Every structure is written in C-alpha cells, then in structure tokens.
Amino acid sequence: MKKGLFVVIEGPEGSGKTTQAELLCRYLAQKGYETLCVREPGGTEVGQRLREILKDKSLSLEAETELLLFAASRAQLIKSIIRPALQAGKAVVSDRFTLSTEVYQGFAQGISQEFIKQLNRFCLGDVEPDITFVLILNTNDALKKRLGVKSTDSSQEFLFPKTQPDRIERKSTDFHKKVYEGYKKLSKNRPKTVIIDGKGEIETVHRRIVNELEKILS
Ligand code: TMP
C-alpha cells in the first residue's frame, strides 16, 4: 500500500524529537498536505491507556510484558488510524515507531531482535514508513536536557529538578547510554533511515530534517 506520506521521528529521551515532530507536521500542513501527527505509545484511546500503564512508575513490568504492550498499542494505532489516513492520501508523522522497540526492548534489554522484527511485521501489515529520521545528541546532553540531571557515572543517583520522571526515564544512566548506543548502531546503513544531528537551535535541526525530506519528495 503506498498512498500518502509516512514519516517517523526517532531518538533517545531528550533528543528533541517531539518538538521536531510537531514542527514537521506544521511544515507538511503548510505544504498543502492533510496532516496527522501521532505518537507511540498512544495515538488511540486504547494506546493512551497502554501508555499510562507503560509509564506508571508504581508498576514493575517484565521486559516481555512491556514489549507486548508496546506492540499492542502499535497494532491498534496502525490498523485504526495510520493505515486509513495513508489510504486517504494524508501525511502521517509519528513520534517514535518500530525502531524504538528494537532499541529499548531489543538492544537495551536483550530481547531477541529476530522476534521483535517478526512482531513488528505482524503489527505493520502492509504499512511502511517512507522515511525515519533519527535525532542523535550526545547522551549526557540529552539526559541533561530532558531530565535536568548530571549523569556521568552509573552509581550516581538521578536528581530530577525539572519534571517527575516516568517509569522508563527513571532507569539507570547505563540503560540510557545503551539506548543512545543502540540508536547509533541500529540506524547506521539502515534503509530509508537518516541520522540527524540533534545539536543546535530547534530551527536549525528542523532545517536539517526538511532538507532531507525534500530529497525524497522531489
Ligand atoms: P516518549 O513518548 O516521552 O518518548 O515516551 C515513550 C517511552 O517509551 C520512551 O521512554 C521510550 C519508550 N518506548 C519503548 O521502550 N519501546 C517502544 O517501542 C516505544 C514506542 C517507546
């Protein structure tokens, strides 16, 4: 199925991807696309409830449970929202998608990448992103930006002056370093995937993304 345009923005916590996803939505709308902006987990009523469970710091979730909940949210979002929107010729921008699962559940938590790929294929059906932008920032910069923490060694307790961290943000510095490494490793030489330097002004990073997007639109 290839109608509409499907763009994914990925990156570790604090990489600025949510801001960039919003800017990209606005950009595409100005270009005349009917645009839909979604996020994962979430984007549907079911997905939103799953997001609450996944982020709830009072819950302790096994890695396998977590994987299946992310997949359930994705299946619901694709089938009920993304696929119909693409079929209607809309531009869909998703804040996170399948690469997040490969990085967080696969690379950082050790679940079989083969199984994750199979599960993602099951959720995707005939839907495929046209392009995925991966925002990469230095891990410490990203952690500081998102969490307001000084986090250079794993023994250090996080301090959270800015926001209350959710269940995943609370994980150790080592975990977040692994996520960062995972993004770098799994994005390299990946088809339809472009690594974007996330450092700099919001507008500068936006221009980097738009320049790359224009290459596939022209
Ligand atoms: P965010 O929307 O604020 O980025 O939060 C989503 C969190 O869920 C973030 O910590 C990354 C995590 N996540 C996974 O671990 N696996 C996934 O497949 C997805 C979509 C997100």
For every residue of 50-114, DSSP letters joined together read HHHHHH-TT----HHHHHHHHHHHHHHHIIIIIHHHHHTT-EEEEES-HHHHIIIIIITT---HH
pLDDT tens figures, 162-206: 567 888 888 888 898 999 999 999 999 999 999 999 999 999 999
If one residue of 104, 107, 180 were mutated to test the ligand 1 pocket, choosing by the most ligand atoms within 8 A of its CB, it would be: 104
Ligand 1 centroid – CA 197 distance (Å)? 20
Q: Is 104 in the pocket of ligand 1 (CB under 6 A)?
A: yes
pLDDT of residue 158: 39
pLDDT of residue 164: 77
Return the closest-CA partner of residue 15 out of 218, 189, 202. Answer: 202
pLDDT of residue 160: 40
Q: Which three-class secondary structure state does DSSP give residue 21?
A: helix
The span from the CA of 124 to the CA of 210, in Å, is 25
pLDDT of residue 24: 98
Kindly report the protein residue whose alpha carbon is nearest to atom 10 of ligand 1. 168
Q: Is 132 in the pocket of ligand 1 (CB under 6 A)?
A: no
pLDDT of residue 178: 94
Alpha-carbon torsion, ordered 126, 10, 63, 125, to 10 deg:
0
Kindly report the protein residue whose alpha carbon is nearest to atom 7 of ligand 1. 168
- pLDDT-derived band at 148 (thresholds 50, 70, 90) equals low
Q: Which three-class secondary structure state does DSSP give residue 200?
A: coil
Kindly report the protein residue whose alpha carbon is nearest to atom 20 of ligand 1. 40
The number of the ligand 1 atom at minimal distance from the alpha carbon of 54 is: 8
Q: Is 96 in the pocket of ligand 1 (CB under 6 A)?
A: yes
Higher-pLDDT residue of 41 and 159 is: 41
Return the closest-CA partner of residue 116 out of 129, 125, 131, 103. Answer: 103
Asked whether residue 159 carries a pLDDT value surpassing 50, the answer given is no
pLDDT tens figures, 69-110: 999 999 999 999 999 999 999 999 999 999 999 999 999 999
Task: Decide if 3 contacts 87 (C-beta within 8 A).
Answer: yes
Task: Decide if 174 contacts 167 (C-beta within 8 A).
Answer: no
pLDDT tens figures, 5-41: 999 999 998 889 999 999 999 999 999 999 999 999 9
pLDDT of residue 14: 85
pLDDT of residue 142: 65
Return the closest-CA partner of residue 17 out of 132, 130, 104. Answer: 132
In the predicted model, what is the mean pLDDT of residues 120-128? 97
Kindly report the protein residue whose alpha carbon is nearest to atom 2 of ligand 1. 40
Ligand 1 centroid – CA 168 distance (Å)? 8
Could you tell me the two tokens for 63?
Answer: 């890695």
Q: How far is CA 148 from CA 20, 57, 72, 74, 80, in A?
A: 20, 18, 31, 30, 36
pLDDT of residue 188: 94
Q: Mean pLDDT, the chain, as a whole number?
A: 90
- pLDDT-derived band at 146 (thresholds 50, 70, 90) equals low
